[in-house]
Structures are given as C-alpha cells and as structure tokens.
Structure 1
C-alpha cells in the first residue's frame, strides 16, 4: 500500500535547523518547514528585524568554529536531536576587480562562511543522525559553483563548487547509514536586499527598477524564464526535499535558476 502524506503536517515531530534563517531564502525556508509541522530553529549573527516567536533564534557567527559549536551544543541540549539541517548561510563580501584585488583574508573569510561552516555543523549533528539511521541535510550552494562570476565573487564561486563536491561525497558515505544529503543550487533570488540593490542601481543609472533588473539578468547571460526566483520558490523545493515524499532522493544537486545555466 502506498504512503499517504498530509502535506500540511508532514514534518510534524521533526526538529529542523535553518542557518541564515532570519532573512531572504533562509527565512522563507524556515517558515515553509514550520508550516509543515516542524519545530524550527534559526541562526544568524544578528537577531531578525521582525522576530517570529514561533521560531527559536540562536545568535552565532558560524564563520568561526566557536559559533558552530555553540549552535550544536544548544540544539542538542534543548532538543536532544536534530532531524533536518538546512545549511543555508552563505554570501560574498569581497571587492570587485578580479583575482588581483583579493587578499588571503578575503579568501579565508569566504571559505569559512560558505564551506567550512556547513562542514562543521554536519560534523556536529551527523553522529546522532547516524545513530538513529534518520536525518536529512540540505546544502544551499549556488549556480556559481558551475557558472562563476570572476569580477567580484571568485572566492564565493570556488567555495560553493567545493560545497557541491563535498555534499556528493558525504551523501555516498552516510546514505547507507540512513541519512540523506542533498544540494540545492539557486540562481539569482529576488530577496529584499536584492530589491534594494535594484533601487540603488536604478537611481545611480537614472533608469527604472525594471531596467536595472534586466541589466543584472543580462550580466548573468539571461534568465530564460524572465525573472529572478522568489524566496518562497526555493523554500518550496527544500520543503519537498526534506519531506517523506523525497525519501529515495540523496546525493543529487537540484538547480533552481529559471534556466540561467545554458548547458545540460
């Protein structure tokens, strides 16, 4: 007899952690998992501007080992386990100008945030998942892992490529032990910060927000679907992948980019 799922309650009883869960896609993912019945913990360096009392917030700098250790210890102390780990934290703050302007510190900071933070959190939470033969880990990477933009995000692209490779290898190790590991690689997402950036570009170039948005899409080589992703669309994919409906999926990278990557 086939399983029957109640999509509105399919994560009932599950404990989930979403890093970078206070804004953008991370916030949308946290809300999506909560709406499916999970108990959701979010973490970031700064508290959310509009706190959601339904979500437990842990303040931590995950780019540092002490930050990841704090999150692991607090989650396990309060809940004794973690069922779903969404490594969403990521970003780039390096300057434009290509390889010559990038310092060791630029590289190290970017790799710590985008690659080593997920590695440390996985290492902290995997033992109890393996012991229970149950758990799902999602790594949020980026299409820059295979479509790098060298001018200002070279370290970010390299770190995300490393994350994709690491995620595949980890899945091969822990899938026989009952833990699923998957990668989601979004293209451009129209978050609130992206919207503000479009407004700044429009103002500085004496153009409209629509024209500014089109200029960024052109810089990416075009988005065939004609627009950036909505945070909720990325969240919906993650919500499916961590659900029982996706029990046979592991070790795969799911690209959600509106067709931006031009190759198969």
Structure 2
C-alpha cells in the first residue's frame, strides 16, 4: 500500500475526540487531512447540524432520529452500529452526501475534427490513450498549426473529478498542457510535429492526418532510465511507446458522469433503496 493508504488504515477507526487528543506533531505529520477535517467538523458548534443534514440527504432520518440515523448509516457501511461515528465514517458521510448532489457539467464544446488550409491547420477533440485509462478522461485538446512559422500550439484542459480521498468534493478545471511543437513534416494532408522544448521525461510526437481525420500522439522515453520530475516525482520508463488519439469525446465524457450517477445510487439508505425497488416493482406489475 502507499503511505497514504497506511495512514488511512491506521487512523480510520478513531473517534473525533481520540484523534484530536493525539500530539500535535503526530496529527500534523501523520494523520490524513480528510480525517483531521472530519474530527474538526464533528467537534465544531455546527458539527451535528451538518451531519444531520448529510444523513437526511442520503434518506436517513437525520433530524427526526439522529442516533438511529447514525446507526443505520453504520450498518449500511457494514460496520458495527454504535451510534458514534468514527472519523472515516464522518468523512464517508460527507463524501456521499456531496456526491449525490454533483451534477453533469459542460465546460467546453464537444468539438471534434480537423481542418486544414494552405498555411493553417486546426484540430480539436478529446484525448484518449489506446489500451490504457487516461488520468483525465474529461479533457479537451486544441491544436493550431501555422506553416509559415513552422510551429503548432498545443493546449489541453481537463475537468478533474474528486474521489473518496479528495479533500474537497468539487470539480476542478485545470490546464494539463500548453506547449509549442516544431513541425517536422507538412505534406499534403499530413502534419508531424515534435516538442520545441524537448527536455521532459517523455517526448511526444504529433501525427495529424486531415484526410482520414485521424490524429495521434505518440509518447516515448526521453531518458535512459527512470526520470525525476521537477516536482520530485519519479516517472518509470515506458515499456513501449504510448499511443493516444484525439477523438469525439461525447461518449467518453458521458460515461464518466453515468458512473458517478450509478455510484451515488448505492449511497442512499438501504431502507430508502428497498422502498424504491418496491415502487418500481409495483409500477411494472401495473
């Protein structure tokens, strides 16, 4: 497991008061932020009110029967129903309540395709890695190539989706890449280009075919061994070139939001879920 996983396993069953009673240096250096936040929330003046509201969001009786709602929530998690929420349970409650309120968003047009004239070419779409899962599936790539300048401007933005370990349960739009490529071939309906600054751990080649509307990126190793990034991370060598393509991303992006919706259906209280199933069953019979 990663160090973060080890810390989460170590502190997940602490009650808020127990966590806050730890020495300050341990809490600041070892305790995951999500658990510190849960402990601080639970012991704040508005803590009970927030957790009652979160329970109600998930169709537990948070206001009418707070203790019973907490026990029912713990039981649905498959844990002992003590009525006293651990920091992991408090964090999970907040995560689930936030998740069911998340909606699909669109922060860029679903443009796809490439156009090419004598001196200028454009490509737009969503980048996907062939045979691998991309870190940022909800993304948009915009490429503009100028023949007389011999360069292509490459820009990629992405919508980052939070997960259960995220400190904040909200979407984040960020720039993934903003680079200049040097055109190595402009021939007929074909353009090839490589990064103007070729000092990264990996180097990409753009292969753009406007006749077939096929647009590829090929990533290769740019170092003899594993590579240390400027942020202190180590990137392992690629075993083979990593091929990506720019495609119409509507189905990819819709699938990501469908996965969120399907996940949130499992977050509601089991008693509410049974009532929904009974209602659906009756409607089908009628």
Larger Rg computed on CA atoms: 2
* TM-score under structure 1 length normalisation: 0.21
Higher strand share: 2
Higher helix share: 1
* TM-score under structure 2 length normalisation: 0.20
